[in-house]
Structure 1
Amino acid sequence: MTKEKPVTHEQSFKQPRKTRLALMGEFSAGKSTLIKLFLGENPLPIKVTATRLPPVLISHGEDAVYAVGHDGVETPIDIDQIEQVRLEETRLIRLYKPCDTLEICDLIDMPGISDPSMSSEVWMSVMDEVDSVVWCTQATQAWRQSEAATWQQIAERTNGENFLLVTQVDKLHSERDLNRVMTRVRKETQGLFRGTFPISITEAIAAGEDEAKWKASGAADFINDLVENLMKAPALSFAEPALVQSQDKSAKPFASDGNAAETSPDDDSNQAAEASSATGQTVGVVPKRVRVLTQMRGRTERPTKSQMATG
């Protein structure tokens, strides 16, 4: 029998942690596709992505999955058995993945708010562990009254650094239709979000290294703003070194005094440290930002000297 690991909310809140970014919206608004953009894959088996699951907290680490009960006890489970989790007994699912994006934030995949078979208490009980929200709303029926009503309930429970994505804009018939939708949505949500972005997530994923397609999808502005905001999160500056430094064993780690632990022939690490010092960011953050951005764009090459210097 697998040993259970008891944890308490008090312990989790006292530990320095990364920003917890909740992905929210109505059913089929694009949350699962957004996770694929962030992580390069959907961490849940395809057969269970549309099932009735509690919130899924995705963090950086070796592959592992736990069911967290309402008493805070974490029980290891097999990813292929995740659809057997009993909703009434499980507060959330905790899933670990070794992914660059998860070095700067945790993701919380929330159930669709419009599911009539699931009480809002299932996800409302997790809102106190959310920092920021990325809210997804479909362009063809953007920002419905039900969404506005739900947002009014939860907005004050976030840190205010929230984003609104108008998704599936490729389904609109014309640029004029898109402008009309965005004008209305921005008017109705004025002051509610840090930024409002039109985006086709599927086109962003397909863009890969194509700069023009990446920008045309709407992902460039959103991802740049999101990553910039996450890199400024206070928790990053006092998190454990493993969370601040590169997880890539081939990369040169940075020492705590701001000097590179080793000097590479092309001096990339020194330039990164100097750029970090100049911007007031934690040492190691600049190359990490580059790695996160390149991962989201489907690229795997190491950052160049100029990328590390400019971040």
Structure 2
Amino acid sequence: MKMTDLTALLQEKRAAAGSGSPLRVVICGEVSAGKSTVMNALMRDQMLPDNIGQSARPVLVAGWREIPGIEASGRDGREIRAALPGTPELFHGADFIRLWLDQPHLSGIELIELPMTRAEELTGDQIDLVQSADVMIWVTIGSQAWRLTEKAIVETLGETRPDRSILIVSRGDKLRTDKDRGRLMERMERETAALFGHRFFLFGDRRKIAASAGSEAEWQATGGAPLAALLRGFAGQPARTVYDREPREKPVETRTAPGFEARFVAETEEDPPFVVEVTKADETILADAGSDTEVGARVEVQPDPEPVAPVAKTAPPARPGILQAGLLHEDGAGHTLLAGDAETLAQLADFCRVMLKQLQDARLTAEGGPVSFFSLSTAKRRLLIQVRNGAGAVFMLADAAVMNQGMAQVAIGQLGGDRRVTG
């Protein structure tokens, strides 16, 4: 089946299903980069078998429907309907496969896997499909992330790329340590800032993905949950123009304590200057919440996701580098202690609540949606806040000598899977 046939077929299926126009997400990458793993993580199950095929790989599409099932077009021209999860023979013998799932988080979202090889081999059909998408996910392998061949493909797509673009580093669990993952994520941020607005690790352990169907904690651990939450946020926003290839990180006007330098990573290039106030008292809180601090801060806004729980006076020892951690309750009534001591955490919680209130400024949230991730770094400390849809916000103070920014982002993501957070 040609890619041009795919576009027509998808339109027919959407009309027949009465689903309107879902958020179209194309999942791209080189052969064996982990695209199917990304789809499995988003579907919360090991739906797609290994080695579906490379030379004759079917077009894979997934979406939401009340009645789950599989619709496929065989290479012999037959139309096939089957119950999930299907059989390996079905996947290997089809040109086109559509998976319908009754997973609520996929409502209004259409996932399309789009393999690519080399920039010079891009077809008009592939380019048209990317241009028709609302979101592009590029999958790169953690062990050899962001090769020159990948960069060439993405840059060749040029203005056909959707404005909302996400880089997924697959096989994050194959990297030996959090330090390795942190260093890699920092490199990805440096090298892909002009191409992608968001970057995630995916931990593609088959058992975790299979277990994520019945466990929020396992789903968080795969990296599928934060990615799904970001897509859900996109699905609730108006359509956007194609990405103009300018870096998303832009300096903004700031009023800060002496020695601070702030910047935001926002979802739109058109955001007007936004002011964040960091007072001398705030600086003292950060210093007191973990020892002496040399000041020189960086503020970042990005996305991430999900649910919650209640408080204690002491918490179990946290992983090395986490000084304080807690959960702000959404209703503003208190917080839950996850790591550290209650007295210091209470001061830090008040500070985080004030910062989140400032970040609801309409100039920042009008077009890009509410802030879902915030980071403030000093010479010795890192403060991260991750807003969880409908369930408050997780916040964490880390030792910058132990955790770089990438490691800290991995750590707060793991805190999001804590049972005290997910309930």
> How would you bin the TM-score normalised by the shorter chain?
0.5 to 0.7
Q: Does 1:65 align with 2:71?
A: yes
2:44 maps to 40
1:224 is aligned to 229
RMSD: 4.2
Change (3 A) 1:127 1:194: same
How far off its partner does 1:234 sit? 5.4
Mapping for residues 86-125 of structure 1, pairs under 5 Å: 92-111=96-115, 113-114=116-117, 120-121=122-123, 123-124=126-127
Structure 2: runs of 5+ lacking an equivalent? 1-6, 83-88, 241-364, 367-388, 391-421
Q: 1:209 to 1:81 in 2, by over 3 A?
A: closer
Aligned ranges for residues 13-162 of structure 1 at < 5 Å? 16-44=20-48, 46=49, 49-51=52-54, 52-61=56-65, 62=67, 63-67=69-73, 76-77=79-80, 80-85=89-94, 92-111=96-115, 113-114=116-117, 120-121=122-123, 123-124=126-127, 126-162=129-165
Q: 1:196, 1:228 → 2: CA distance?
A: 15
Alpha-carbon distance between aligned partners in 1 of 2:233 and 2:74, rounded to the nearest angstrom: 31
Kept in 1, the 8 Å contact 2:140–2:168? The answer is yes
CA distance in 2, matches of 1:215, 1:97: 19
2:224 and 2:14 mapped to 1: Cα distance? 34
Which residue of the partner structure matches residue 306 of structure 2?
Answer: none
Distance in 1 between the 2:50 and 2:9 partners?
A: 31
**In the alignment, is the contact (CA less than 8 A) between 2:24 and 2:133 conserved in 1?**
yes
Q: Is the 8 A contact 1:201 1:217 kept in 2?
A: yes
Distance change (3 Å), C-alpha of 1:81 and 1:196: closer
Q: 1:27 touches 1:115 (CA, 8 Å); kept in 2?
A: no
> Equivalent residue for 1:270?
none
- The amino acid of 1:17's aligned partner reads S
Contact 2:173 2:204 in 1 (8 A): no
Change (3 A) 1:43 1:233: farther
Paired residue type of 2:193: Q
Using the TM superposition, give the Cα deviation of residue 176 of structure 1 relative to its aligned residue in structure 2, in angstroms.
Answer: 2.5
Please report how far the alpha carbon of residue 178 of structure 1 lies from its aligned counterpart in structure 2 after TM superposition. 1.7
Higher strand share: 2
Considering fraction of residues, name the structure with more helix: 1
Q: In structure 2, do the counterparts of structure 1 residues 204 and 104 end up closer, same or farther at CA, with 3 Å as the change threshold?
A: farther
Q: CA offsets per residue over residues 91-124 of structure 1, 9 Å max, x none?
A: x54443443233120010122x2389xx643744
Distance (whole Å) between structure 1 residues aligned to residue 31 and residue 25 of structure 2: 18
Aligned partner of 2:333 in structure 1 is none
Gaps of 5+ in 1: 1-6, 236-278, 281-288, 291-306
CA displacement at 1:49 relative to structure 2: 2.5
Identity of aligned residues (%): 24
Q: Which has the larger radius of gyration?
A: 2
Q: Per the alignment, in what secondary structure is the counterpart of residue 28 of structure 2?
A: strand
CA distance in 2, matches of 1:227, 1:127: 19
Equivalent residue letter for 2:71: V
The alignment partner of 2:139 has SS state of strand
